[in-house]
Chain A
Amino acid sequence: MLLIENLHVSVADKPILKGINLEIKAGEIHAIMGPNGSGKSTLSHVLSGKAGYEITQGSISYQGKDLTEMPPEIRAREGIFLAFQYPVEIPGVSNIYLLKAALNAVRKHHGQPEVDAMDFLTLVKHKVKMLEMDEKFLYRAVNEGFSGGEKKRNEILQMAILEPQLCILDETDSGLDIDALRIVADGVNSLRSPDRGFLMITHYQRLLDYIKPDVVHVLAHGKIVKSGGPELALELEEKGYSWVESNKNGVAA
């Protein structure tokens, strides 16, 4: 589904990612862990097409297509979804309008008719209930005045409605209390399916107690320095990042 080969990325001429190799197959959940400044968020931004990142070497292919040439909205319509670490507040644009505009853009992209208004409302209300959100959130401006936890839940709501192929979760656990974390994790787990891939970026192992990854990678200094099964996350939690940072000869998966 996603194949990243020897990816080098610079921001303002400063190399951030220095040769990432990563393959995510449909149905897999990958976790990327790493200390602050290791390049985790850069990777998520590059995959979603944010401006300001220069790919100096390597390639990213998504479902066999070159991703690097696609504008962000086309990537999104093709099924890549980034759940932001810091979701942006958009005063004046209602949540429900954005959801509908996004869903219709995806449908149009795939040659499908616009969603029926009643069907849409039923779908949204069902998902809202699943995420234990108040329906009032739908009619409020996107993320405006939402608490940290509400913003994260709203990201998962958008994801649940758009049903993307590749879900990238950037530090989705940060700022969540235990209850919110469980609700968000339940939402993510409900989307697990054999034809959907996940890339979870996280600083802490905590989220991985709730969403069990197939593969864990450790990112340090712009490279994947170690890859392994879920047990790697526990080991990291115990020994700290200095353990892998000093061990740069790890083998990428």
Chain B
Amino acid sequence: MGNVSRYLDNYQDLATTLPGQDLPWLQSLRKTALQQFAASGFPSPREEDWRYTNVTAIEKKLFAPMLGFVSTNPNLQFIDKECLQSQLLSDAWTVVLVDGHFSAELSALNGLPDNILVSGMATALESKPEWVQPYLGQALPAESHGFIAFNTAWFSDGVFIHIPTKQVLAKPIQILNVVTQAEVSATTRNLIVADCSTEATVIESFAATTGETYLTASVTEIFTGENAHITLHKLQCEADKAYHFGGTHVKQGMASRFSHHNFAFGGLLARTDVHVDMDKASECELNGLYLGVNRQHLDNHTRINHLQPHGISKELYKGVLDDRARGVFQGRVIVAENAQKTDSQMSNRNLLLSNDAEADTKPQLEIYADDVKCGHGVTVGQLDEKSVFYLQSRCVDEETARNMLTFAFANEMVEKIKIKSLHDKVLEQVLKRFPQEGVEKEWL
């Protein structure tokens, strides 16, 4: 716990600079979270949900938040603008968070309908705290781990999105997160409130604009109203030496539909939690792709709570692991006693490209209802030699054949992206991480 106290000491001065100073409800949330973090620190492998992922490296270092400037105007001195530009989607409204702070200058929200609110979290807490209060922290589980507490205690900013009833967003909203300097921690809290019968697509991107070590600790809470259709994409391409924790916590309304596409490509150690509480007749689709090379450790942890009857959930996570990379998938589906007629499918498929790569997978079904259709499947394997030979017998050399099959395996998840610009960006990232060179895009 000695290392945790260093964080506590170091962050002490921070308290007065955090947004929401004059909001007692937020101060109370922060205080409780701080107490929890002080007591338990960062998660330990002794916790069942963290048994495959050891974060002591983060504890040993001391990542410090960027301070000393107005929250809507972060320091842009160190930013690589060209690199930033290349990460932005051309056909989206874009919000940029630099070192954990919303940048009005870099964000582009022209043409956003007046009744849709997209703002920095700090700004929202100043101007519309009553819009935030009913939701903030409400999608988080009662018992959460150290990273969530860390985030609640110290989030410096984030994005607040509110979409009023029946509003359909014409374009997606991209939230681009960048860190510019070494040893920095970017701790952000996003909140997306989508009222009844809304439709929206949001993209969270985490991009590498520095080669340094840093920590991202980001939590996003989403509330989907009755009949809302919300799609969230996460494109995690952190720097090679970065640490990443991301939590996505969703509370679905009746007959709403939530889709999540989670691409975990970057970082030295990266963990994503996706937790969804489903309501009556709601649908939830979780897709994931993790590509690990070198010594990367990529952990994905999902939980789907079927709390009411007639819910449908579909989950497919795929992993490709090369070199000494390690991929972790822990997927849990809980069907409450009341959640009759639940239809749930969960699947995790891993492709190991080297003898030193490792995949740990643990699907869990907990069913308390008696009239449900639930299934899960898991595979860990290598490329099918019969397929390699088949392609060779069709004139394709062995290396290209292996590339083709690996690409085809991963591409199934890329093909699920409906936004062209994002699809192309994800594809580019997939190709960049390929074991052999010379992968052509023609394979689509």
Give A residues with C-beta under 8 Å from B: 48-51, 71-73, 75-77, 81-82, 84, 87-88, 90-94, 97-98, 100-103, 105-106, 109, 141, 158, 162
Contacts and interface: CB of A to CB of B under 8 A. Distances in A.
B393 A72 contact: yes
Contacts of A109: 395
Interface in B397-444: 397-398, 400-401, 404-405, 407-409, 411-412, 442-444
Given A76-B392, A88-B387, A93 B443 contact: yes
B385 interface: yes
Contacts of A101: 394-396, 400, 442
A198 B407 CA distance: 35
Nearest to A72: B392
A38 B442 CA distance: 42
A108 to B, nearest CB: 9
Given A106-B395, A162-B395, A72 B405 contact: no
Contact of B409 (A73, A92, A97): A92
Given A73-B398, A81-B393, 7 more contacts: A49-B393, A50-B389, A51-B385, A71-B397, A73-B401, A76-B392, A162-B395
The residue among B386, B390, B400, B411 with the most chain A CB atoms within 10 A of its own CB is B390
Nearest to A103: B395
A90 B405 contact: yes
A162 B395 CA distance: 10
B392 A71 contact: yes
B391 interface: yes
B408 A88 contact: no
Nearest to A88: B390
A81 B390 CA distance: 11
B395 A102 contact: yes
Contacts of B404: 93
Contacts of B396: 73, 98, 101-102, 105
Contacts of B385: 51
Interface of B: 384-387, 389-398, 400-401, 404-405, 407-409, 411-412, 442-444
Nearest to B384: A88
A186 to B, nearest CB: 22
21 contacts: A48-B393, A49-B392, A49-B393, A50-B389, A51-B389, A71-B397, A72-B393, A73-B396, A76-B393, A82-B393, A87-B390, A90-B408, A92-B408, A92-B409, A92-B412, A93-B408, A94-B444, A97-B442, A98-B394, A98-B396, A141-B408
A106 B396 CA distance: 9
B407 A92 contact: yes
Contacts of A73: 392-393, 395-398, 401
Contacts of B405: 90, 92-93
A101 B412 CA distance: 20
Nearest to B389: A50
A184 B418 CA distance: 39
B443 A77 contact: no
A81 B392 CA distance: 11
Given A48-B393, A97-B443, A90 B387 contact: yes
B124 to A, nearest CB: 43
The residue among A73, A75, A100, A162 with the most chain B CB atoms within 10 A of its own CB is A73
B347 to A, nearest CB: 14
B251 to A, nearest CB: 35
The residue among A87, A98, A103 with the most chain B CB atoms within 10 A of its own CB is A98
A249 to B, nearest CB: 36
A48 B405 CA distance: 20
A112 B21 CA distance: 73
The residue among A75, A77, A88, A105 with the most chain B CB atoms within 10 A of its own CB is A88
B392 A158 contact: no
Contacts of A84: 390, 393
Given A92-B409, A93-B404, A76 B390 contact: no
Contacts of B444: 94, 97
Contacts of A93: 391, 404-405, 408, 443
A138 to B, nearest CB: 14
Contacts of B392: 49, 71-73, 76
Give me the 6 closest cross-chain CB pairs, A-B, nearest first: A92-B408, A105-B395, A72-B392, A88-B390, A102-B395, A76-B395
A42 to B, nearest CB: 14
A93 B405 CA distance: 8
B412 A72 contact: no
B390 A90 contact: yes
Contacts of A102: 394-396
Given A72-B389, A90-B405, A97-B442, A77 B395 contact: yes
B408 A91 contact: yes
Given A92-B407, A92-B412, A76 B386 contact: no
Nearest to A45: B389
Contacts of A48: 393
